[in-house]
Structure 1
């Protein structure tokens, strides 16, 4: 590496110069990597005396080339003025005779003015180095100490910040955290909680007696069984961020809407994320469902108790599915309302998946809208299950879905249960025969 027209000596070149002097000093910040480093190399140019090169890693440049005996290296200046061409160590210009280099190095300068210039240059360098590290020196206990000429400094002995091993899951902190250990005893699944970084960060900073225990006591007072507390905290660990007054306000809102106590317990257990929503948003969501589906108060309470997730679900998505079923699938307003009351989760499904199932049920199986409304859960059954069982019944000549005809097969019986139950109760055959038929598809 050539800097300032001079080449720093390598390990192989050091063996050729008997009195080669080299030291290295580092300013170390305990919170960062070394900010300032000073490297010194001693070498000879054109028969002149040995020189010192000082460098800072902040600027990445050599500040000054100074000689060890107090003289400024005029050969370096002249070399820089000539264009700074690269010069190899050991070349005729540098002098390859080790004894000659040693003799030149041991000579004493007799020029007092040059010696004073050398000392002034060192002082200027120290001031410039202190200016560059002024911002970081406040955090450094020992400050910056420049090494003496010829001093060898061991970089391994420099102070360093204590290394903390990274933690990739909450399980590694259970034995060290009272909150985590107690939550595990309650049945909280930390593998689910740590998927949300906000929940993980909250748990490791909580105090059990101050933050966790009051929430658990209140949930138990409103009728939540102890066995369900772990499930609630697993679903929504951010509930511990709320104070007891916030939880009480949400529960009082449900009671003000005439929800039964059993319904309140079910809603809190199945949808604890309700506590992370404002009461105004929850009230607006219930109002949307009531207006769009023309529900009564009892019907609203029935559907919310059946699927508490509706409290925190985006009502615009429900309206989109409702519009799709009305416009593209041909269901009437009353039929969509009946589907919403009997199986509200259908309105939370992807509308395109609903369309694929409807296409097969309506066009291939020849089922009417009225038949589909009797068991709307069929829209949440996997399409390949519907196809396999229908084709098997056709193979057995038992695919009869008209309730007015003999050997009627209900949709609930068709798509519910395992293959063993389907074969025994509906197809009236064995599971092995059903599996052999599937191999032909």
Structure 2
């Protein structure tokens, strides 16, 4: 055996020994409880290594929540790895969403099964979890409420799955906000379900959609279709409106300057504020009238 190979073999136990001692001392200091036995902890560290975690990654894992029992770490990490996540993805998830560490193995399995039933199979599930790790700890009712909104809006099962794959952050939004965004695109802009999904509608803030749409409309470059779906102008596709940069939107579609668009957005915001104020005044007046009638 070469001297280089011999040195690598002898250095490995030394590194493992140092790692074991460092984590053992950290746990004892942080947990304020009985020392974790070296043999037991050593087996756990071997398990992490077998799952593909490097020495530095193992140290990072234990530094996230030092007071957490090592057995809990092993259970949570094992469940995430069984989902097909690699060491980097697992570490990233726990760093971004440490509340996952408070979940049981059964809770993690049930959540994974539920997401698969929504169509997030292998590969898709990993991508969603990587971009939004909080999906594991999000309340069941919150996920269900969002899914029900899409069903109410008559998106197909495949379309709902595609929305969740491409934009898992919709799970954080209020259901009524998602429904309003759909209604605006469907009734106000005349966009069909397929175009909404393909364009990434639900990844775009509603304010940006309205600003660009109404700007084009007032320039005579967009028109709400009539009952037969007809327009007197050729409307640009939704993805051409919302998927391009602001600069490309202004030069390629609106043929306007940034200054014009900036002024327009300020005026539109003022218009909307006036509408809201007027509605609040009308509501208050109606309330006063009802009280008077009751007297």
For structure 1, the residue ranges without an aligned partner over 5 or more in a row are 1-206
CA distance in 2, matches of 1:361, 1:224: 51
Which is richer in helix? 2
- Say if 1:223 and 1:265, in contact at 8 Å, map to a contact too: no
> 1:7-66 CA distances to partner (integer Å, 9 max, x unpaired)?
xxxxxxxxxxxxxxxxxxxxxxxxxxxxxxxxxxxxxxxxxxxxxxxxxxxxxxxxxxxx
Look up the match of 1:434: 261
CA distance in 2, matches of 1:255, 1:278: 15
2:95 is the alignment partner of 1:269:
yes
2:37 is the alignment partner of 1:211:
no
Which is richer in strand? 1
Look up the match of 1:389: 212
Give the deviation of 1:362 after TM superposition.
Answer: 0.7
Matching of residues 320-339 of structure 1 within 5 Å:
320-327=145-152, 329-339=153-163
2:47 is the alignment partner of 1:222:
no
* Length-normalised TM-score, structure 2: 0.61
Which of 223, 244, 253 aligns to 2:79? It is 253
- Say if 2:213 and 2:241, in contact at 8 Å, map to a contact too: no
Look up the match of 1:316: 141
Please say which structure displays the higher CA radius of gyration: 1
CA distance in 1, matches of 2:224, 2:158: 23
CA RMSD of aligned residues (A): 3.8
Matching of residues 64-143 of structure 1 within 5 Å:
none
Give the deviation of 1:311 after TM superposition.
Answer: 1.2
- Say if 1:222 and 1:265, in contact at 8 Å, map to a contact too: no
2:174 is the alignment partner of 1:350:
yes
- Say if 2:79 and 2:108, in contact at 8 Å, map to a contact too: no
CA distance in 1, matches of 2:240, 2:133: 24
- Say if 2:27 and 2:67, in contact at 8 Å, map to a contact too: no
Give the deviation of 1:281 after TM superposition.
Answer: 0.9
- Say if 2:189 and 2:223, in contact at 8 Å, map to a contact too: no
Over 4 Å off, 4+ runs: 218-221, 223-226
CA distance in 1, matches of 2:119, 2:265: 45
Look up the match of 2:284: none
- Say if 2:129 and 2:135, in contact at 8 Å, map to a contact too: yes
Give the deviation of 1:391 after TM superposition.
Answer: 1.2
Count of matched residue pairs = 220
